[in-house]
């Protein structure tokens, strides 16, 4: 029986007869030649039908194929450097065809440029385009690399709840849901608080799953449902946390470079800077970052840029500030020691400087900005209670969390890496909405 192959492995079958199953992405005819660009889910490959080599009926069938028709093609693999496939360099000389369905001829995502709203309304079909296919294959590899690094470095996967009784990352972005006789419950903004319980049983843990924020911002970096991996580590301070993060992120990037070259090439991603990603990453304090911004503002002649870079000590950085900072470095840069007032309630205060906390964000280069937020956590029960009260959070809902600080409290730290922002950066794309199969934003829940 002729082997059924995956197009990603086509190089292993040069000069052999094979079968592929997939969909017609494009068809062009030049007299006695018909070129089909076929995608099988694993790649795209050009298949060539020559009239004189085929039974008349088969050739007629090939001529009838519309975009998205589902087919099984039998043919001989030939090396051809001009082939437009992904991976390129191969084509299939068709010897046989089986049609599953001739697709309806009013396919909405015909091969032309589409507006973003149209593409998003047709997300269920847009996924079939090479760009979207490449991005989501890279996303899958990012997730594989994440689990691979954590699983081999002593982290236990703990699945944390999605339905939660209280806020963890500020009360303004909570999705509320009625919860039987208990009143209101909230979709999880983070699994961190539960992982802080988990480390006292397992030492190093992580959760990896969807996270929900009722973000009212319409930026290219915000989704209302995004995926986050959150490692949490017992006996770990801020410096050790940064060491973990730089190893982790380097592994992810190097794994994608190793396994997803055809996809990166099809996205025309310049990987020069990605190839340089390895520990250590530069580290600057928030204070130094503020000085750097003041200097950049001083140096620019562009009045618009000057306006955008305006900044005062004590605020959180916006996208333009982060973009300007990351352009000063080739690698991701750590910014640590943010003002306590702009960060979450659970962060350990800086020793002798309570207006600053032991937080660290990792900003991705090339203007991408924050992909990780993390910190050392408050380990004293008194300090933590005080912060909960200052933030006017309902004490009763945090009883269990406070109790963690009474039975064997230790310095501990953790971070959350946003999957979609990381994929955007690695793929070099503009908007985060293309990095998740079905994006959820402030004005979109369809399809």
Binding site residues, Mg ion, CB under 5 A:
373
Which of residues 18, 418, 433, 434 is near ligand 4AD by CB under 6 A? Answer: 418
CB 326 within 8 A of CB 276: no
372 binding ligand 4AD? (CB under 6 A): yes
User: How far is residue 349's CA from residue 376's CA, in Å, rounded to a whole number?
Assistant: 9
Residue 137 contact among Mg ion, ligand 4AD, none, beta carbon within 5 to 8 Å by kind: none
61 binding ligand 4AD? (CB under 6 A): no
User: How far is residue 306's CA from residue 308's CA, in Å, rounded to a whole number?
Assistant: 5
365 binding ligand 4AD? (CB under 6 A): no
Smallest gap from residue 104 Cβ to ligand 4AD (A)? 36
Smallest gap from residue 25 Cβ to Mg ion (A)? 39
Q: Residue 375: name the closest of 403, 414, 337, 345 by CA.
A: 414
CB 47 within 8 A of CB 40: no
Nearer to Mg ion, 337 or 373 (CB): 373
Which of residues 61, 68, 196, 215 is near ligand 4AD by CB under 6 A? Answer: 215
Residue 230 contact among ligand 4AD, Mg ion, none, beta carbon within 5 to 8 Å by kind: ligand 4AD
**Cα end-to-end span (Å), the chain:** 41
Smallest gap from residue 336 Cβ to Mg ion (A)? 13
CA distances from 360 to 97, 271, 351, 425 (A): 57, 26, 15, 19
Nearer to Mg ion, 126 or 415 (CB): 415
Smallest gap from residue 356 Cβ to ligand 4AD (A)? 17
Smallest gap from residue 139 Cβ to ligand 4AD (A)? 13
Which of residues 213, 321, 387, 433 is near ligand 4AD by CB under 6 A? Answer: 213
Stretch that binds ligand 4AD, among 2-10, 117-125, 284-292, 366-374 (CB under 6 A): 366-374
Six token digits for residue 330? 């080739």
Nearer to ligand 4AD, 237 or 305 (CB): 237
Residue 374 contact among ligand 4AD, Mg ion, none, beta carbon within 5 to 8 Å by kind: ligand 4AD
Between 145 and 184, how does the x/- string for binding to ligand 4AD read (CB under 6 A)? ------------------------x---------------
DSSP characters over 344-360: -TTBPEETTEEEEESEE
Between 191 and 210, how does the x/- string for binding to ligand 4AD read (CB under 6 A)? -x------------------
User: How far is residue 293's CA from residue 296's CA, in Å, rounded to a whole number?
Assistant: 5
Give the rounded distance of the alpha carbon of 93 from its chain centre: 37
Residues of this chain, 397-416, that bind ligand 4AD according to CB under 6 A? 414-416
Smallest gap from residue 358 Cβ to ligand 4AD (A)? 12
Six token digits for residue 296? 């950049």
Six token digits for residue 314? 């004590």
Q: Residue 137: name the closest of 433, 428, 423 by CA.
A: 423
CA distances from 370 to 14, 128, 296, 333, 360 (A): 45, 30, 19, 9, 10
Smallest gap from residue 149 Cβ to ligand 4AD (A)? 16
Cis peptide before 447 (omega within 30 of 0): yes
Helix extents (H) in 230-276: 238-259, 261-266, 272-275
Residues of this chain, 221-250, that bind ligand 4AD according to CB under 6 A? 222-223, 226, 228, 230
Nearer to ligand 4AD, 320 or 374 (CB): 374
Nearer to ligand 4AD, 91 or 376 (CB): 376
Element (DSSP H or E) covering residue 402: helix 399-403
Residue 226 contact among ligand 4AD, Mg ion, none, beta carbon within 5 to 8 Å by kind: ligand 4AD
Smallest gap from residue 390 Cβ to ligand 4AD (A)? 18
The values of phi and psi at residue 430, to 5°, are -80, -45
Which of residues 123, 139, 421, 433 is near ligand 4AD by CB under 6 A? Answer: 421
Which residues have C-beta within 8 Å of that of residue 351, sequence separation ≥ 6? none
- Beta strands (DSSP E) in 145-281 are 156-157, 163-164, 176-178, 184-187, 204-212, 225-234
User: How far is residue 189's CA from residue 91's CA, in Å, rounded to a whole number?
Assistant: 48
User: How far is residue 383's CA from residue 19's CA, in Å, rounded to a whole number?
Assistant: 66
Nearer to Mg ion, 175 or 200 (CB): 175
Q: Residue 206: name the closest of 149, 121, 287, 268 by CA.
A: 149
Query: Could you tell me how many residues of this chain bind ligand 4AD (CB under 6 A)?
Result: 21
Contacts with ligand 4AD, residue ranges (CB under 6 A) = 169, 190, 192, 213, 215, 222-223, 226, 228, 230, 370-374, 414-416, 418, 420-421
């Amino acid at each position: 029986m002729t082997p059924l192959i995956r197009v990603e492995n086509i190089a292993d079958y040069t000069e052999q007869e094979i079968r592929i199953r997939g969909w017609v992405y494009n068809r062009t005819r030049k007299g006695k030649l018909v070129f089909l660009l076929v995608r099988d889910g694993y790649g795209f490959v050009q298949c060539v039908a020559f009239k004189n080599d085929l039974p008349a009926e088969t050739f007629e069938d090939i001529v009838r194929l519309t975009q998205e028709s589902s087919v099984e093609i039998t043919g001989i693999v030939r090396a051809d450097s001009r082939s437009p496939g992904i991976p390129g360099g191969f084509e299939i000389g068709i010897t046989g065809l089986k049609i599953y369905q001739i697709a309806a001829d009013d396919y909405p995502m015909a091969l032309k440029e589409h507006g973003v709203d149209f593409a998003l309304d047709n997300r269920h079909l847009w996924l079939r385009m090479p760009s979207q296919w490449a991005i989501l294959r890279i996303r899958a590899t990012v997730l594989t690399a994440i689990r691979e690094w954590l699983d081999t470095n002593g982290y236990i996967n703990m699945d944390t709840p999605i339905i939660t009784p209280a806020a963890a990352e500020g009360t303004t972005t909570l999705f509320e849901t009625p919860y039987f006789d208990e009143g209101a419950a909230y979709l999880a903004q983070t699994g961190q608080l539960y992982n802080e319980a988990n480390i006292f049983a397992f030492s190093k843990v992580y959760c990896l799953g969807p996270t929900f924020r009722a973000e009212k911002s319409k930026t290219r970096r915000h989704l209302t449902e995004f995926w986050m991996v959150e490692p949490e580590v017992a006996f770990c301070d801020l410096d050790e946390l940064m060491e973990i993060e730089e190893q982790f992120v380097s592994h992810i990037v190097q794994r994608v470079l190793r396994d997803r070259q055809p996809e990166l090439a099809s996205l025309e991603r310049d990987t020069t800077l990605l190839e340089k990603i390895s520990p250590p990453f530069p580290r600057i304090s928030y204070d130094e970052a503020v000085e750097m911004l003041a200097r950049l503002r001083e140096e620019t002649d562009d009045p618009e840029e000057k306006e955008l870079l305006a900044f005062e000590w004590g605020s959180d950085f916006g996208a333009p500030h982060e973009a300007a900072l990351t352009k000063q470095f080739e690698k991701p840069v750590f910014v640590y020691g943010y003002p306590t007032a702009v960060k979450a309630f659970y962060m350990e205060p800086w020793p002798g400087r309570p207006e600053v906390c032991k937080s660290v964000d990792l900003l991705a280069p090339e203007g991408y900005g924050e992909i990780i937020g993390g910190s050392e956590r408050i380990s004293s029960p008194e300090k933590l209670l005080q912060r909960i009260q200052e933030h006017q959070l309902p004490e009763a809902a945090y009883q269990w969390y406070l109790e963690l600080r009474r039975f064997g409290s230790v310095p501990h730290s953790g971070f959350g890496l946003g999957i979609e922002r990381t994929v955007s950066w690695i793929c070099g794309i503009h908007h985060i909405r293309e990095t998740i199969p079905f994006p959820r934003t402030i004005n979109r829940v369809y399809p």
